[in-house]
Amino acid sequence: MTVRDIKALGKKVFRANYWNCVIAAVLLALLVGGVATSGAKNAQNAVPPQENASISVSFQNAVSQLTPGQITGIFAAITSVGVVGILLKIFLFNPLKVGCYRFFNKNARDTSVTLSVIKEGFGDYVRTLLTLFLTDLFTFLWGLLFIIPGIIKAYSYRLVPYILRDEPDLPSMEVIRRSKELMRGNKWKAFVMDLSFIGWYLLSVLTAGLLNLFWTNPYRESACAVFYNDLKD
């Protein structure tokens, strides 16, 4: 299938199960940090440069007045929050993410599916945790070799969440190998498909992100599921 064909079918299955796709896409965006990041950038851009400079000076003055003990306590609190965030990602967010991809994958085949499919992300729990942990680790390590290798490997591992539930008998490393195998020769096609949604994301700025929530994100996730099914077939 061409990118045009994939997007056309993605749009069709999305519109056939509209609200379930929207809800699943919102949850997925929250899990991968897309909405939070977008909101933070919008909030930062909304503050005038002069006020940013004033806030920065005030922050520096406040820090200079802290005692070593207070600084240590703040550092420990920030570290604790970071550790809790990592644990939540590994043990809760990653399985939920797999469940969301499972929903879009099933919806690409049968548009009568419901959001209850998301709970399938918690099936074979330990295998899911291990596979996504290894995927994140490998992506991070490749990213240390500069940005481009990290991006290339991220595309190689792109299909891992789909394969996890679609081929439950594969061990973790085989799931990753399978994703690399399917994406071999198809990374550029996936990249072109991603680029084709840039116009929608730019238009979303005019709607304060509402277009992303109610159209672009679920449309893109539906197209990505069609892309996976096409490669698998």
Tens-binned pLDDT, residue by residue, of the chain (233 aa): 999 999 999 999 999 999 999 999 999 999 886 433 333 344 344 445 555 555 555 655 665 666 777 667 777 778 778 888 888 888 999 999 999 999 999 999 999 999 999 999 998 999 999 999 999 999 999 988 888 888 999 999 999 999 999 999 999 999 999 999 999 999 999 999 999 999 999 999 999 999 999 999 999 999 999 999 999 98
Tokens of 184: 């071999």
DSSP state of 110: -
- What is the value of pTM for the model shown? 0.82
Q: What is the pLDDT of residue 148?
A: 87
Dihedral sign computed on CA atoms, order 93, 94, 97, 103: negative
What is the pLDDT at residue 180?
97
Give me the residue label for tokens 């490997």. 153
Q: What is the pLDDT of residue 52?
A: 52
Q: Which two tokens stand for residue 141?
A: 């390590």
Q: Are 197 and 125 in contact (CB under 8 A)?
A: no
> Which among 213, 1, 26 has a CA at the least distance from the CA of 103?
26
Rounded-to-integer distance, Cα 194 and Cα 199, Å:
10
